[in-house]
A and B are shown apart, each in its own frame.
Chain A
Amino acid sequence: MVIEPAATPDVKLDSGSSQLAGLFQTPQRKRHSREGRVSKRPRWWDLARKQRCILSSDTGLLQATSDISTFEDWGIGSPALLDCQFNGADSSAISALPSAQRQNQSRLEYIPRTQCAKAEFLVVLRSTLFSFSKLSCAFFQRNPSTNATNCEERFQGFQRTTNMYKDENPLQKIRVRWATTMLSALAVLTATPAFLSAQLQVPIVNDSEIRDRGDITSLPLPLKNRLIDLARRPHTYVPATAFSEADNPSRLVSYYLLDTEGFQPNVFTSKYRALTIRR
């Protein structure tokens, strides 16, 4: 019996309420500042949690449009980061779609993980700098619960609250900035090994190592992409190598792409998530 692959018409993923968003967006916590205003910015530990999430999102990358919230909204914006954040989904997110809705996969383009790794590094670096700067400012201000959005504001707040810089003492100002810079440098040194450590959890595999491997290079594209996806994820071993057992190479006659979508969710698939589609 021949079962043809599902038809592939056109779709856009609604990342705002999608599985992708569920995976890679930490819900933005609303918190109240001292003045009673509601701030959309997360606290630094929210960012740290988000970093971990991103660092674990090593999977196949999808290039598509999205209205996902950016890090600019969080005050540490980076366009590259936006791509990385959104693209941290793999083809399973697409194959997870009901077949009737599994549309135009071909318009969703895979991009190499290496492009994303750079942005991930920026995430760690920027947010760690941000956190340390915040801490350093908090140190000077002695009031970590402030709603100031950056060090400069905190510094101004520091001036206002202590009235210490009424005379705009340039020397003292330089000292404070120097201290902040040193702490930021410390943050860089801290962030780098943390980043490398996080990367070690996900052995970086060059896509070509899998795609061009002799037993994989001639396989149908959906199967090949799935094997690349598997290799990009955290793993102890890359997909198994198929060895010949005759003078001529073995021949692929069929395959199965596996997921948890084709049957009733049960206790063994309990973290089931739905993926929605914008029509």
Chain B
Amino acid sequence: MTTAANAANGGLPTIGAVRVVVEPKIGLPTDPNDPGVAVDMFTDVSGLFVINNESGWYEGWIIREIRVPPVSDAKRPSGRALYGTMTREDYNANSEKGIGNNAIAGRFVTMDGKAPRLPAKTDVFPDNVGNTVPFPVSLGTFNASQQSDVHSYWEFNPNTNWVFPHFELPFTGGIPGTFAAGMVDKLSTVLGSSNTIPGSGPAGIQNNPLTYGDNPDNPRDPDRGLPLTPSEKATISAAQAEKRLRFIPSGLTEEVLTDVFIRTASFEPTVTAPGQRFFDAYAYEVSLVDRNADGVISFEEANIEGTSDGQSNRRLFLPLTAFNRYAMTRELNDGLLAPRFAPGQRGYVLAGDLMLVNPFAPASIARDADDR
């Protein structure tokens, strides 16, 4: 049975569109460069077959390639870099790597220090692929209908602008060599428990399933976020927000990746194995925001109107416009929140680049029944 894209409807090319619209709600920002904005995203696709078996699904992702941070001579007392910066020592180390790309603030970070190269049709996995350092925010999951069309709706706001735990990355099979090394089923071995219990990973805190697991009397609900609008705040208590979360805000994810690839002098310079650096960086960055030291960042701890580590939590969330491309993957239940074969393209079925609109265009009708 044919299952691939570009095979439905007599072999028409699979195509789609994603519309990104800002809701001008009272009390919320309307600038798409503000991470507090409330956004609706509509995905429509033609030419993807329904996934029938093993509860498979399609999943959309907006993807950011991380950028080189500026140099700061100020440091933490531990000698590590401040949020969103690299130290002078990091700069010097990056200058000597490749062509020195990772020493130029604002450029896409590359794994080899050479000029950035985004994924392309001409890539050949595993030897000839893009060299940037991407991470995605999930746009939710969906399946196709009978006529091979897909329609999905998702909301981007501070309750959803979160990213899978990057200690999963060595176990997706998408990093060259990891599948051959048998890594795809090793996460639970490394963790010593199931990956479904929220915690800060192999180098961090692992929690008791009885207190952090999916309790039948109090099921985990990662969609139960903080009230955002004034009207929601007047009627919904912040205390109802879920605390047992497996993911972290997008801005903090960029910090994790910056620790691994850019802060090679200021963050654990003696640890060179990328896998271990992922584990250590994840646990470290989570600890800076995790007030109750349970290895989990709750919605309340990351409240965009609150503070952590002496700074505004607004820094923890990247704006919508920071995500430069889109991909849709075909997923299986592998127990990971990460995209299939992340960070590579082997699970992609569709992709597209960001197109910004100026001036903004009216793009809705009538009125939603809930306004949530």
Contacts and interface: CB of A to CB of B under 8 A. Distances in A.
Interface of A: 1-3, 5, 19, 22-23, 52-53, 56-59, 90-93, 95-96, 98, 213-216, 218-220, 222-223, 226-227, 229-230, 233-237, 239-273
Interface of B: 2-7, 9-26, 30, 32, 38-40, 42, 44-47, 119-125, 129, 145-149, 151-153, 320-322, 324-328, 330, 345-357, 360-368, 371-372
A236 B147 contact: yes
Residue of A53, A248, A269 with highest tally of chain B CB at under 10 A? A269
A259 B346 CA distance: 15
A244 B46 contact: no
Contacts of B151: 237, 239-240
A230 B16 contact: yes
The secondary structure that dominates the A interface is loop
B16, B20, B356, B360 — most chain A CB neighbours (10 Å): B16
A273 B14 CA distance: 11
A270 B17 contact: no
A255 B20 contact: yes
21 contacts: A1-B321, A1-B324, A59-B12, A214-B365, A219-B361, A230-B17, A242-B19, A244-B368, A245-B25, A246-B24, A250-B40, A252-B357, A252-B360, A255-B19, A257-B355, A258-B45, A260-B13, A262-B325, A263-B345, A263-B348, A264-B123
**B7, B22, B345, B365 — most chain A CB neighbours (10 Å):** B365
A91 B123 CA distance: 25
Among A91, A254, A265, the most chain B Cβ lie within 10 Å of the Cβ of: A254
Given A233-B9, A236-B149, A253-B21, A241 B365 contact: yes
B15 A258 contact: yes
B349 A269 contact: yes
A256 B123 contact: no
A268 B5 contact: yes
A257 B321 CA distance: 16
Contacts of B10: 23, 52-53, 56-57
A127 B195 CA distance: 61
Given A242-B21, A250-B364, A273 B13 contact: yes
A271 B11 contact: yes
Contacts, number: 288
A98 B26 CA distance: 43
Given A236-B145, A266-B348, 15 more contacts: A23-B10, A223-B19, A229-B46, A230-B44, A239-B42, A243-B367, A245-B23, A246-B371, A247-B24, A259-B16, A260-B6, A260-B13, A269-B14, A270-B4, A270-B6
B60 to A, nearest CB: 9
A252 to B, nearest CB: 4
B364 A219 contact: no
A242 B364 contact: yes
Contacts of B20: 252-256
Contacts of B357: 220, 252-255
A254 B363 CA distance: 11
Nearest to B15: A92
B46 A230 contact: yes
Contact of A219 (B7, B125, B322, B363): B363
Question: Which interface residue of A58, A243, A251 has the most chain B CB atoms within 10 A?
Answer: A251
Q: B22, B352, B356, B362: which has the most chain A beta carbons within 10 Å?
A: B362
Contacts of A218: 361-363
A243 B19 CA distance: 12
Given A227-B44, A254-B20, A261-B121, A249 B15 contact: no
B28 to A, nearest CB: 9
Contact of A252 (B320, B349, B354, B361): B361
B82 to A, nearest CB: 24
Given A237-B145, A245-B371, A264-B124, A252 B324 contact: no
A258 B356 contact: no
Nearest to A265: B121
Given A233-B46, A258-B351, A249 B363 contact: yes
Nearest to A53: B10
Contacts of B42: 239-240, 242
Given A234-B149, A270-B4, A256 B23 contact: no
Contacts of B361: 218-220, 251-252
A268 B347 contact: yes
Contacts of B23: 244-246, 250
B31 to A, nearest CB: 9
Contacts of A226: 15-17
Nearest to B360: A251
Contacts of B16: 226, 230, 257-259
A95 B348 contact: no
Given A1-B324, A242-B40, A269-B4, A23 B12 contact: yes
A214 B129 CA distance: 42
A264 B124 CA distance: 7
B368 A243 contact: yes
A269 B194 CA distance: 32
A229 to B, nearest CB: 7
B2 to A, nearest CB: 8
A196 B274 CA distance: 61
Nearest to B341: A266
A218 B359 CA distance: 11
Contacts of B355: 3, 5, 220, 222-223, 254-257
